[in-house]
Chain A
Amino acid sequence: MSVRNGILALLAEEPRHGYALKSEFSRRTAGTWELNVGQVYTTLARLRRDGLVAEDEPVDGPRHRWRVTGSGRGALEKWLGTPVDEAASRNELILKVLLALGGPPDRLRLVLDRQRAFAMERLQEYTRARPVLADAGDLSAELALDALVLRVDADLRWLDRCEQRVADRERESRLDRGSR
């Protein structure tokens, strides 16, 4: 649904060729969400079937430009006005850590350490891209990168929280055993 609505949003700005849609989608998401041309044309065909987009007659060569219809604008407004509900619980990282809790402590630490190093490397990568984007004045790409940075940061904070809670629990267990 995101790709379908994303294409509608780009066409609501101005009519575009299929390939221009692919390029603009990639640019506006800072290259973090690539579409292939086949995916773009399949989506356009479905949008046309549902009466949300239409093709213009070719004027500058064989390629059609696509434009949004009145129904398409209505569908877009409805999407923009509906809150996104992403279920945080259905996340592979969370699942992996929760299940690793059932094994030996060293294995859990290994999971936390490897994930932390991996997430940090991602964060370094994003951080290096930030000055380039800021200097280019590309607001859309800057905001896309902010979203990535803050999500990785949230993962890293959660990993720290896991480690802290596990360490607290181990300490309490030791104290309990010592007082018996």
Chain B
Amino acid sequence: MKDAPAVSFERVERVYASGPSVTRALGPIDLELEIGEFVAIMGPSGSGKSTLLSLAGALDRPTAGRVRLRGVDLATRTASQLATLRRRSLGYVFQDLNLLPGLTACENVALPRELDGASIAVARREALEALDTVGLGHLAERFPEDLSGGERQRVAVARAFVGARELVLADEPTGALDSMAGERVLRLLRERCDESGCTVVLVTHDATHAGWADRVLFLRDGLLASEARGSARLVPGV
């Protein structure tokens, strides 16, 4: 039997009401993201990109329709169950990194595993492995303020992938990094996606970053306008 998709949206809508005015941020939208797929979401400001990401990441609930993660309808889960799901199965990389300044790189990466009940020793070992995969094993004991912007963002990537994450959500993860540092972060997301088999959803304004994805969805006014599925063909001769 075919596995349930990593994420599915069924007639999902998100509407914000403020007094008499109603703003439709997203939908209705139908969408399926496969397990192990790297999907980028693009579109102008206000097109619904971050709303879609928040719904897929169980950070928000739809006004109508159903959001399912691996077949589980999020509407059937309590707030506490959703919190456990977020801690255990989902990883987030945001523009404002949310690294805790009083903790070392290793402690920052280990934190979600400790919160999830792993022993300090196990969480530390997994954190060191995750930092190694992003090329920062040698800086594990540094504090965030002693790292460059690119290194801090790679710590955030390590934290998003530590443990057995099934879905990683990244909202403009390269922030103000220069183009080479930004590309390194994107290549890491691609590699971690390929190696761990987890699904990655990336929101970006930068087409050269979206180029790392298997599929690129373009939103306009909260709806899917078009999509690109890169061919497997490489440049001739390469």
Contacts and interface: CB of A to CB of B under 8 A. Distances in A.
Interface of B: 44, 187, 207-208, 210-214, 216, 218, 220, 225-231, 233-238
B236 A34 contact: yes
A128 B213 contact: no
B208 A124 contact: no
Interface centre among B187, B218, B225, B237 (most CB of A within 10 A): B237
B200 to A, nearest CB: 14
B178 to A, nearest CB: 15
Chain A contact residues: helix, strand, loop or mixed:
helix
Contacts, number: 90
B226 A116 contact: yes
For chain A, which range describes its interface: under 10, 10 to 19, 20 to 34, or 35 or more residues? 35 or more
B218 A132 contact: no
7 contacts: A30-B238, A32-B237, A123-B208, A125-B230, A127-B208, A127-B211, A131-B187
A32 B212 contact: no
A118 to B, nearest CB: 8
Contacts of A7: none
Contacts of B211: 120, 123-124, 126-127, 149
Contacts of A133: 238
A93 B198 CA distance: 38
Interface string A24-50: 001100111010000000000000000
Interface centre among A123, A148, A163 (most CB of B within 10 A): A123
Contacts of A96: none
Contacts of A157: 207
A27 B237 CA distance: 7
B238 A117 contact: no
